[in-house]
Amino acid sequence: MSDELDQVKSGKNKLNATMLSKLLVIAVLMFGFGYALVPIYKQICELTGVNILTPKDISVKEITNSQIDRTREVTIEFDANTQGPWRFRPTVSSMKVHPGEMAQVMYEVVNKQSYKMDAQAIPSYAPQQASAFFKKMECFCFKQQTLEANEARQMPVVFYIDPALPKDVKTITLSYTFFEVGGKPKLADKGV
């Protein structure tokens, strides 16, 4: 009886050892397959042209933005008005852009006071209908500006003109009014 029990235990041990070895082989194969998926996925994506983040062998000159309407140009005029003790102006008075093309202009502001000031810029457009087609991606007018005493700063406006701009609009004026927020500081704020 004990021989039969030993045989059963021995048979179970062999089965367990066989099962364990099979499971280890499967685990190693699964790990290898998972590791190999990354290059396989990249190869499949390159072959099918799907999800390519950095295309190879394409120079910057070959990449074109199909949203740009190169058949026409719009002149953008820049203007600046101030309501406060500072100098505020665009660094260029105008530029020509194609609708859909990204452009950037810099505005320069100098706080002429001997104390810190908070200011805000409010844009306006002429003709008024152009405001819906003037798309700003980055602008100092999006938030309040804090200027230290006698600080000079250049602030960018990154924009594009929507290609849906009516064809009869050939010139757009972007004007900013830059004004102080809150008012003059108290004598204690000046350090007096």
We report the CATH number of the domain holding residue 171 as 2.60.370.10
How far, in Å, are 36, 78, 173 from residue 99 at the CA level?
46, 17, 15
pTM of the entire structure?
Answer: 0.59
For residue 156, what pLDDT band results from cuts at 50, 70 and 90? very high
Asked if residue 144 and residue 103 are part of one domain, the reply reads: yes
Instruction: Give every CB contact of residue 57 below 8 A, 6+ residues apart in sequence.
Output: none
Total domains in the chain come to 2
Q: pLDDT tens digit string along 17-39?
A: 899 999 999 999 888 888 787 78
Q: Please check whether residue 55 lies inside any domain of the structure.
A: yes
Q: Tell me which residue range forms the domain holding 51.
A: 1-61
Backbone φ, ψ for residue 116 (5° rounding):
-70, 145
Same domain flag for 97 and 174: yes
Q: Which of 120, 138, 134 minimizes the C-alpha distance to 176?
A: 120
107 and 37, same domain (yes or no): no
60-114 per-position pLDDT tens digit: 444 455 678 889 999 999 999 887 778 899 999 999 999 999 999 999 999 988 8
Same domain, 36 and 3: yes
Query: Is residue 187 included in any domain, yes or no?
Result: no
Q: Is residue 80 located within the same domain as residue 122?
A: yes
- CA–CA separation, 144 and 121 (whole Å): 8
Q: How far apart are CA 147 and CA 155, in angstroms?
A: 12
